[in-house]
Amino acid sequence: MVKLFQRSCLLLLALVGLQFSKLAYAAIDLSLVDNGFVILQYHHVDENTPDVTSLSNEKFIQHLQLIEKLGFTVVDLAEAIDKVRAGEVLPDKSVAISFDDGYKNIAKQALPELKKRGWPATIFVNPGLLAKSPSFYLTWDELKYWSKHKMTIANHGWEHDYWVRDNAATNMNWQQKIKQSITKTEQAIEQHIGYSKKLVAYPYGEYDSWIQTWLKQQKLITFGQQSGAVAQFSDFTALPRYPASGIYADEKTLTTKLLTKALPVDYNLLPSPIVSDSANPPSFQIKLLTALVNSLNCFIGGKAEMDLQKLSANEYKISAKQKLATGRSRYNCTMQTKQAGRFYWLSQPWLIE
């Protein structure tokens, strides 16, 4: 009887804690809702690499000039996250820069251009690959050099493995393999660079709830490849970044993305991106943490082929009107802020099995 009473008390405390958490989010004022930053994601900076993940050195420099022209502050990724989570106010226009894979071509002109401006960036690396192909990837000595010039070296898995395949949610052997990939990379970074900022980028931007739970337990901050901005109410196991290469290198659309803010919802309540064929098209619900500023609009593939159902004053159910193709997809939702030309943005990624 005593044990039953204790369990009941613990359950009650948990429920109270959950409600308090939700109330805390609901009490966030507008100035804190707007406090955040965006992250740009690059791969190759070269004219002779795959178009989909590349842009030229000339185009990269144009992006840096655009950042300067728009009056942005380039922030250190780890420091900006710490400040946002602590409720410290960042400059209104703040952006962090990141590179995935640590290709050697970024050191030819991209990193020197950042160094010349005194701007920080984060390079997510795969130690197993750079050991196999030192002529293609930055070596540990080169990464050590750039780490002394405001470049943070961070975790992208040992060999750019797939992390959510082979029924990963129930396959313990698969999960253990991925955990070892992440842990081994953390150890390599600490060994060769001398420290780790505990930042991890999902290969291919793919993730699932099982790995999010484990990463949170390890106190690792993790990044996807879905669009959007970072704020205090973000899910720090699936932070968004704006790809800025290939078709996303256009300066006009990049300007719009740079000026975005995180749509004010509790991102920790968003669903897993993994969708079975029987649940296709997927749907999810959001509840705005503040009063509606303007109308909410949702898109898929740049088209408004969405079913946007209003459940209450600030609550919506969102789904596509047709099945999504197998592979990666996403729903994007935007709402104009009180400032002309600036939008709140949310992107929910999907991986259709």
With cut-offs at 50, 70 and 90, classify the pLDDT of residue 58. Answer: very high
Residues 258-284 have a mean pLDDT of: 94
User: Is a pLDDT exceeding 90 seen at residue 133?
Assistant: yes
* β 283-287/242-243 pair status: unpaired
Instruction: Check if the beta carbon of residue 293 is closer than 8 Å to that of residue 344.
Output: yes
Kindly tell me if the per-residue pLDDT of 2 is higher than 50: no
pLDDT (tens digit per residue) in 328-349: 999 999 999 999 999 999 999 9
Q: Over the stretch 178-209, which tens digit does the pLDDT of each residue have?
A: 999 999 999 999 999 999 999 999 999 999 99
pLDDT of residue 14: 36
Is there a contact between 331 and 303 (Cβ–Cβ < 8 Å)? no
What's at 180, amino acid-wise? Q
Query: What are 244's strand-pairing partners?
Result: none
Within 218-306, residue ranges assigned H as helices are 251-258
Residue 298's SS3 state is strand
b/e burial code for range 23-32 (CB count within 10 A of at least 16 → b): eebeebeeeb
Mind listing the pLDDT tens digit for each residue in 79-114?
A: 999 999 999 999 999 999 999 999 999 999 999 999
Instruction: Give the pTM.
Output: 0.90
8 A C-beta contact, residue 156 and residue 185: yes
pLDDT of residue 168: 79
CA–CA gap between residue 324 and residue 315 (Å, rounded) = 24
* Over residues 9-25, mean pLDDT: 36
* Residue 18 binned pLDDT confidence (cut-offs 50, 70, 90): very low
